[in-house]
Chains A and B, each alone.
Chain A
């Protein structure tokens, strides 16, 4: 099974609501990153959180990291139709920042106008 696994696999909400996506991983990480992908297009980096950080904010995005539970969550507040996309978490493992980046399977978010 994959290092990063997102939950839920799909999420459907109304504009203005908050969306929360979760990511769990198995081995210790150097950092965890969240990306967004619009249908069939390239991924766009959202937030990077390091293993010694617990929470980060960027605009309407809030990411938390709980290394004891090996999990992270991405919260999008006051969602918009333009937030409709797939969201992926990705982990860097091995104790250094070099090497492999392992992606989860993603959460498909649909925001209805």
Chain B
């Protein structure tokens, strides 16, 4: 089944404890992206990657890191999480570029205490 998977789905952590949210797609898509969704603010793009080893900042990249060493994986790294990073995070992938539909993962609900 074609899908985007994220792990973990739920995570409660404390300020300053490094964490990684994994994202994997099995559709051989070039473009991958991370978003955060907050009430009243909609979805905002954090980082995106147009292909392996090619990443760029979205609208809200501060406090996050990404890497794209393999085509299928695009992990989101929070080196020192803070409470303002409490949010619902979505990974998405697209065949080629944004001229095509995006496929979204199920989301990761992160709480930073």
Contact indicator A100/B102 (Cβ below 8 Å): no
Chain B positions within 8 Å of A105 at CB level: 40-42
Interface of chain B, helix or strand or loop or mixed?
strand
Chain B contact-residue range equals: 20 to 34
**How far, in angstroms, from A92 to B104 measured CA to CA in the complex?**
17
Q: How many A-B residue pairs have CB under 8 A?
A: 69
Contact indicator B43/A103 (Cβ below 8 Å): yes
Q: Which residues from 26 to 83 on chain A have a C-beta closer than 8 Å to any C-beta of chain B?
A: 30-31, 33, 35, 40-45, 48, 50
Q: Which residues from 65 to 113 on chain B have a C-beta closer than 8 Å to any C-beta of chain A?
A: 88, 90, 92, 96-107, 109
Chain A positions within 8 Å of B96 at CB level: 97
**How far, in angstroms, from A108 to B30 measured CA to CA in the complex?**
31
Q: Report if A102-B98 is in contact (Cβ < 8 Å); known contacts: A41-B106, A42-B104, A43-B104.
A: no
Chain A positions within 8 Å of B56 at CB level: 99
Contact indicator B45/A102 (Cβ below 8 Å): yes
Contact indicator A97/B105 (Cβ below 8 Å): no
- Residue of A40, A42, A45, A92 near B105 (CB, 8 A) is A42
Chain A positions within 8 Å of B90 at CB level: 42-43
Residues of B within 8 A of A (CB): 4, 31, 33, 35, 40-45, 48, 50, 56, 58-59, 88, 90, 92, 96-107, 109
Residues of A within 8 A of B (CB): 2, 30-31, 33, 35, 40-45, 48, 50, 88, 90, 92, 96-106
